[in-house]
Amino acid sequence: MKTPLAIATILTLGTAAALAGEAQVKLKEAPGVEKVRANCVACHSLDYIPLNSPFLDQKGWEAVVAKMTKAFGAPIKAEDAAPIADYLASNYGKK
């Protein structure tokens, strides 16, 4: 069984490797951006956000956040899910 430290190390190294050679995505400064930065990059690069923004509205971003937590096990606190989805929909949602 893997320890929490081992899992955190693997995630950190995996994220660093995924970000190597990529330009840093600059997220729009708005309420909720810190929750997005703190939670989303633990599993994937932030380029996922603008890449999917043409396709997702409020309900779509809510579904993405739910999928990340329920299907993929993202360690997003329940109270952070709505602010993250709101930030994504407000700043990167389909109009």
Q: Domain 4-92, what fold?
A: Cytochrome Bc1 Complex; Chain D, domain 2 (1.10.760)
The CA-CA-CA angle for residues 95, 36, 1, to 5°, reads: 130
Distance of alpha carbon 66 from alpha carbon 59, whole angstroms: 10
Q: Where are the alpha helices (DSSP H) in the chain?
A: 4-19, 33-40, 48-52, 58-70, 78-92
Summarised one tens digit per residue, pLDDT across range 35-80 is 999 999 888 899 989 988 889 999 999 999 999 999 999 999 999 9
Q: For 25-45, what is each residue's pLDDT tens digit?
A: 899 999 999 999 999 988 889
Tell me, what's the pLDDT at 58?
96
Q: Closest by alpha carbon to 44, among 65, 68, 18?
A: 18
The domain ranges of the chain are 4-92
Amino acid sitting at position 85: A
Flag whether pLDDT at 86 surpasses 50: yes
More confident residue, 80 or 15: 80
Q: Determine the Cα–Cα distance for residues 33 and 18; give it in Å rounded to an integer.
A: 21
